Amino acid sequence: MISFSSLQTPRTRSLPLKLHQISHCFSSFPPAFLSFKSRNQTSIPPSFRIRAIDAAQPYDYEAQIYNRFEKSTKLKIAVVGFGNFGQFLARTLVKQGHTVLAHSRSNYSDAARKLGVSFFFDPDDLCEEHPEVILLCTSIISTESVLKSLPVQRLKRNTLFVDVLSVKEFPRNLFLQILPPEFDVLCTHPMFGPESGKNGWKDLQFVYDKVRIGCEESRVNRCERFLKVFAQEGCRMVEMSCAEHDRYAAESQFITHTMGRVLEKFGLDSTPINTKGYDTLLSLVENTSGDSFDLYYGLFMYNKNAMEQLERLDMAFESLKKQLFGHLHDVLRKQLFENAEGFEVLQERPMLPKLPENGAAVEPPSETMR
């Protein structure tokens, strides 16, 4: 028979309590999970109360705050036309932390993977990702066909469409005609390319026109976030209308490309005695010849001011030739006639006699006419 006296009340083992590494921050106010008091008796100020440290995702408030911040500052951008210029812009977009998708008629999946870009062969799959921005980096002459081929019905109805063409009135009118009125439209022109912008975009000009941006705060902020991509790289941001841009571009960009291609056909070669001006011409030929002829043709075909500039250039060249030849004529006349006064005047030879009438005898010539 067991005696009750032999039974001993088991002693409670006191387990060593391992303090969290941040517990030393609360010397005055012990954390709630270290206190044996009831919740009502806790005297910890709300600002010091710990919610979750390295907790599961639904309770990780730090991660949630970070995700909200990322969403408010970063964009999901779909680059349509992932050629040389599209990849050039994508590098900076990825570097700034934006999510970049890409689609092109050619297979650029390897180039996209190296840049950290998701490449889509099918435009339907691209649009179903619901990008916030569709960035058209196509050639001028293919813009209309590419835009019409996009399944815009799969996009969110307020998606922002942006172009980077060297002409502006043409894509503006195209966007307004083809896209539903719910879509936002931003026409832009980075006044640089892979060659001129390879060492950075600081102080390079970026022209833009907010053609149609919704008045909702989210849509206004989205447009500003996209423009910030270029402002953050140090671009000189220039806001002007599409019509004004095309007028200035015809006077500068189209003439620059025209002169570069004329000199290319002329066949400029470097010499052992190049002047700085000649080196500038060689550089002009190199920069313009690196662009496709489609780009140059687009500058002519889709800018109504280009034909006027081409005619003015032709007239200027003819005027210059006339000025040269006119000056040369004056020099030759001076050389020919400056000593005319010192020449002896030749004796006048007698005129031929009057022709006889029909049937009359011809008189022999006189001595003076021999």
CATH number for the region 62-240 comes to 3.40.50.720
Kindly tell me the sign of the dihedral angle through the C-alpha atoms of 359, 363, 369, 370.
Answer: positive
The whole-angstrom separation of Cα 85 and Cα 148 is 21
Give the dihedral sign, CA 336/341/346/351: positive
CB count within 10 Å of CB 30 equals 16
First-to-final CA distance of the chain: 181
Say how many C-beta atoms besides its own lie within 10 A of residue 235's C-beta: 22
Indicate the burial class of 360 (C-beta count within 10 angstroms; 0-12, 13-18, 19 or more): exposed
**Range in 3-12, 142-151, 155-164, 280-289 the model is least confident about:** 3-12
User: In this model, does residue 241 exceed pLDDT 90?
Assistant: yes
- DSSP tag of 128: T
User: What is the structure's pLDDT at 48?
Assistant: 56
Q: Band of the pLDDT at 13, cuts 50, 70, 90?
A: low
From CA 69, how far away is CA 63, in angstroms rounded?
A: 10
Q: Beta partners for 189?
A: 207
Torsion, CA 196, CA 198, CA 200, CA 201, rounded to 10: 40
pLDDT above 60: residue 16: no
Tell me how far apart the alpha carbons of residues 44 and 61 are, in angstroms, rounded to a whole number. Answer: 20
**Dihedral sign from CA coordinates of 188, 191, 195, 200:** negative
DSSP string, 279-317: HHHHHHHHHHHTS-HHHHHHHHHS-TTHHHHHHHHHHHH
Domain ranges of the chain: 62-240, 241-339
Tell me: the pLDDT tens digits for 31-85?
Answer: 544 444 444 455 555 555 555 555 556 666 665 655 565 556 899 999 999 999 9
Distance CA 340, CA 334 (A): 10
Position 8 pLDDT exceeds 90: no
The pLDDT assigned to 6 comes to: 47
Residue 25 has pLDDT above 60, yes or no: no
Considering the chain, what is the average pLDDT of its residues? 83
Which of the pair, 349 or 196, is modelled with greater confidence?
A: 196
Q: What is the pTM of this model?
A: 0.69
Q: What is the pLDDT of residues 116-131, one digit of tens each?
A: 999 999 999 999 999 9
- Entry field: residues in the chain: 370
**pLDDT > 70 in the chain, percent:** 72
pLDDT tops 70 at residue 370? no
Residue 270, H or E segment: none
What is the tens place of the pLDDT at every residue in 102-117? 999 999 999 999 999 9
